Amino acid sequence: MVKVRFAPSPTGFLHIGGARTALFNWMYARAQNGKFVLRIEDTDQQRSKKEYEEEILRSMKWLGLDWDELHYQSHRFDLYRDMAQKLVDEGKAYKDGEAILLKTLKDDIKIYDLIRGEINFDTSNFVVRGEDGGVELDEHNQPKLKDEVLIKGDGSPDYNFCCVIDDALMEISCVVRGEDHISNTPKQILIYKALGFKIPKFAHLPLIMAEDGTRMSKRMGAVAVSDYKEQGFLPDALVNYLMLLGWSPGNNQEIVTLQQAIKNFSIKKVNKAAAAFSMEKLRWINGQYIKQTDTEKLTELLIPFLEKANYINQDFDRQGLKSIVELFKVRLSTLTEFLEWTDFIFHDKLQFDPEAKEKHLSQDRSKEFNLLINNFKQVENYDAISCEEAFKKTVGELGIKPGELVHPLRVALTGKAMGPSLFDIVAILGKERTIERLNSALKTDS
Ligand code: GLU
C-alpha cells in the first residue's frame, strides 16, 4: 500500500515550497488510494513554536489537504532514545558525553529515486575536516569518517535519526520531499541499515526558483501560504498553480482541480528540472477561479476583506453588494483587487487617478455636466438602461459623440479611466451620488 508523509518542522510558517511538497504527497496518496500522514517534526524545542504548528495545520486545511494520521515527534522522544541505546548495546553507536553517535562505516550507497533514477553515494566522502580544512586521518592513516549524530549533546534526537525511525515504523512506502534533502538521504540509509529497517523508495521534488532564477525566499515578498490567503488568492487556485510546479496533467491543460489531478497524477512523471515560480501565472489562474465562483459565494469570500478595509460595517446591503460583485468579478485576479476597483463605491471621497483627471477633466465641462445632471434628475427608474437613455439624450442635445462624454463622466464618478460598464456604475451609485459627483467635478474645474 502507498503510504506517504509530509513532515514539516514548525520553525516557520508553511511556505510555498512546503505546500507543494505536501500537495504532491497528498496527490500521490489519493491517486493510489493510499494513506497520507502529517508528521510535525518538532524535535528542535528551541526553534519549534506552537503558533507555527497551528498555522501549518490551518494552512493545510485551507488548501484542502486532509490527512489520515497526525503525529508529533515531540511525543516520541522515549522511542528515539531507546533506539539509540539499542544501537549502543549492539556496538553500532557510542556515547560521547550526553550525545550518541552512529559509527559511519565505509559503504557504497545506492538509492533509487522515482524522479531522478539511481543516485550513488560513497560514504568515504563523509570525512572529518580539521580546522585548516584538511581531511583528518584515523589510526590506520585512512581518512576519518564523520560519525552521525543520533542524539545531540542536549539530549534531543537529531532530525535524520527521528526521520528514519518514524518513516520505518509508520511504514512509509515512499519518502517524497524537496531536493534539498538529497544530501541527508545517504546518512539516513546508514541509519536504516544499522537499525535493520527496510529502506523505502524516495522521490525528491525539484526546487522552486523565484522568477529571477534564485531560490524562493522572503526577499521576494510572499512565501507563506497565509500571505497568499491574505492577498486574496483562492485555495483551489493556489493548489492548482502549485501542482503545475514540477508536474503537468498533459494536453497543456492548466486549469485542473484536485479531483481531476488525482485521476492521472503519477509521482514518476514529476520533472527533475527546477520549477520557476510565476506570479503572473498564479494571478491568471486565480482570476479563472474567481470567474468560476458563483456570485453568492464570492460575495461571502469578499466580506471579510471589505470589513477589514472598513468598506462595510455590520448592516451593509447584502443584495447591493452582490450586484457590485457580479459587475466586477470578471476583472479580478485576486480578491483584494476588488477593494482597489470599488473604493469609489464605498467611499464618498474620490481618489482620482491623476493622469485620468488631467486627460478627461481638465477642460471646462460645465455645459455637458449641467445638462447631464438635468437629464439624470428626470430618470424615474434609475437603472442602467434608463441612465444610458438619459446619457444618449444628453449627447444628442449637445450634438457631440458619446465617446466625448463617456470618459469625463467615468472619471468624474469613479476617479478612474477604466472599469466595467459605465451605466451599471451610474445605477449602482444612485441618482443622488451621481449628481453630487458631477457637481463636485464642476467645482474643481472652475
Ligand atoms: N522536517 C524536515 C523539513 O521540514 C522534513 C524533511 C523530510 O521530509 O524528510 O525539512
Atom of ligand 1 nearest to the CA of 18: 4
Cβ(173) – ligand 1 distance below 6 Å = no
Gap from CA of 9 to ligand 1 centroid (Å): 7
Across the range 146-162, mean pLDDT stands at 96
Q: Please indicate whether residue 177, judged by its CB atom, sits closer than 6 Å to ligand 1.
A: yes
**Band of the pLDDT at 441, cuts 50, 70, 90?**
very high
| Topology classification of domain 354-443 | Arc Repressor Mutant, subunit A (1.10.10)
Alpha carbon distance 94, 150 (integer Å): 10
pLDDT at 234: 98
Q: pLDDT tens across 56-110, in order?
A: 999 999 999 999 999 999 999 999 999 999 999 999 999 999 999 999 988 889 9
CATH class for the region spanning 1-292: alpha beta
Q: Using the mean position of ligand 1's atoms as its centre, give its distance from the Cα of residue 48 in Å.
A: 13
Q: What is the mean pLDDT of residues 375-392?
A: 97
Q: Whose CA is nearest to atom 4 of ligand 1?
A: 8
**CATH code that applies to domain 294-346:** 1.10.8.70
Cα–Cα nearest to 291, from 336, 329, 235, 320: 329
Report in angstroms the alpha-carbon separations of 339 from 212, 311, 352, 416.
29, 8, 15, 14
Q: Name the residue with the closest Cα to ligand 1, atom 6.
A: 7
Provide φ and ψ at 393, rounded to 5°. Answer: -60, -45
- Residue 446 confidence (pLDDT): 39
Whether the per-residue pLDDT at 445 is higher than 60: the answer is: no
What's the mean pLDDT in 269-277? 94
Residue 105 Cα to ligand 1 midpoint, Å, equals 25
Q: What's the average model confidence in pLDDT over 310-317? A: 93
Q: 323-375: per-residue pLDDT in tens?
A: 999 999 999 999 999 999 999 999 999 999 999 999 999 999 999 999 999 99
- In this prediction, residues 195-224 reach a mean pLDDT of 86
User: Cα separation of 415 and 351, whole Å?
Assistant: 6
Q: Which residue has the cell 478627461?
A: 360
Residue nearest to atom 5 of ligand 1 (CA): 7
The pTM of the full predicted model, rounded to 2 decimals, is 0.93
* 130-141 average pLDDT score: 89
Q: Give pLDDT, residue 205.
A: 97
Using 50, 70 and 90 to split pLDDT, how confident is the model at 133? confident
- CATH 1.10.8.70 in the chain, residue ranges: 294-346
Query: Grid coordinates representing 412?
Result: 468624474
CATH 1.10.10.350 maps onto the chain at 354-443
In this structure, of 24-33, 105-114, 226-235, 334-343, the range with the lowest mean pLDDT score is 105-114
The answer to whether the CB of 56 is under 6 A from ligand 1 is no
Amino acid 218: pLDDT: 63
Atom of ligand 1 nearest to the CA of 177: 8
SS3 content of the chain, % helix, strand, coil (to 5): 50, 15, 35
pLDDT for position 444: 67
Stronger pLDDT, 126 or 382, i.e. the higher one: 382
Residues carrying CATH 3.40.50.620, the chain? 1-292
